[in-house]
Amino acid sequence: MSEELWRPYDRMADEFLAHAEDSPYNAHYDRPAVLDLLGDVGGLRVLDAGCGPGLYAEALLERGAEVLGFDASSAMVELARARVGDSAGIRVARLDQPLPYPDDCVDLVVCALAIHYVEDRHAAFAEFHRVLRPGGAAVVSTQHPTTDWLRKGGSYFDRVLETDTWALASGAHEVRFWREPLSDLCAAATDAGFVIQRLVEARPPEIMRERWPEEHEKLSRRPGFLALRLLALP
């Protein structure tokens, strides 16, 4: 995750939080799918990798988990700490570097909509595997590579650094991310010692039909994100 890939979140942190708290894609599409894949987290220690403003950490705490979290954006870390207080250990760290946690220290890893900012996904998955206890699991969501390919063009099989422009009240923010085929994403996970338990291409919920009918119709035809539940082999 080079600096230019995560730095936009420092500039738009407050706006992103205001958007993500009740947005169709974040709050009502990705978050329910990810939390469902995590299952019962009561009494488990969960690492929120790329925690953003702390929305997933808050949800995990409400479900009885012990939560650790990190993000590369210091502004996002400040928002996450403000949201969860001393209930979770939130710190600045990067997905593209060795994680500042010991081996076998967590039961679950969640990485929601952040892995596509990492150039070396093999290394990131290897770190997830390292910090997980034997038999632990990781749940990772990301932008759907087929949908991104349809939006961006070129060859589906290319590995490309793409750019999206997010229009917010403060102006236009360029957000860059890596697009690669699904087979490469899955290989990065399995090469690191994971087995894919489930792959979910979520369908839009009814609340989106009521509040955001155009987005509901779009996501009913093609997925926006996908999520993987990965079991860490010993």
Angstrom distance (rounded) from CA 16 to CA 110:
19
| CATH number of the domain located at residue range(s) 3-137+181-232 in this protein | 3.40.50.150
Amino acid 108: pLDDT: 98
The first and second tokens of residue 225, run together, are: 């994100």
Amino acid 6: pLDDT: 82
Amino acid 3: pLDDT: 53
* Helix ranges (DSSP H) in the chain: 3-11, 13-20, 31-38, 55-62, 74-84, 121-131, 145-152, 182-191, 206-211, 213-221
Amino acid 1: pLDDT: 44
Q: What is the block-wise mean pLDDT of the chain (234 residues), using blocks of 10 residues?
A: 74 93 96 97 98 98 98 96 97 96 98 96 98 97 96 96 90 93 98 98 96 97 97 93
